[in-house]
Amino acid sequence: MVKTLTKLGNSKALIIPAELIKKYGLDEVILEEKPEGILIRSAVKRTGFQKSVDELRQYKTEIYSRIELQANEPETIEYYKKSANDLSDIDLDIIEE
């Protein structure tokens, strides 16, 4: 994503889109100088578990779309018609929507 800096008084400002602020929790940020440029990251420390959950949520829509496509394939339908492959005993309440 290419962004243009905006003049703000004697300084310049970077306007970050709201969806990125929400996605990365950028209420407060840390600017880090790196050899290749500036890294902007959230100042809020997240645990490894929180990072994993966020990553899973990021791909949730894509995964569900793939599942939906595969569920409608004739091979998949034929596979689950067999009683040995019945998944009706799985508790779907544990799946987040």
What residue type is 76 in one-letter code? T
* Domains in the chain: boundaries: 6-42, 48-84
Please list the ranges in the chain whose pLDDT falls under 70: 83, 85-87, 92, 94-97
Paired strand residues for 92: none
- Can you give the pLDDT at residue 6? 94
Q: How many residues does the chain have?
A: 97
- pTM surpassing 0.75? no
| Long-range Cβ contacts of 21-26 (<8 Å, 24+ apart) | 23/58
pLDDT tens digit sequence for 13-29:
999 999 999 888 888 99
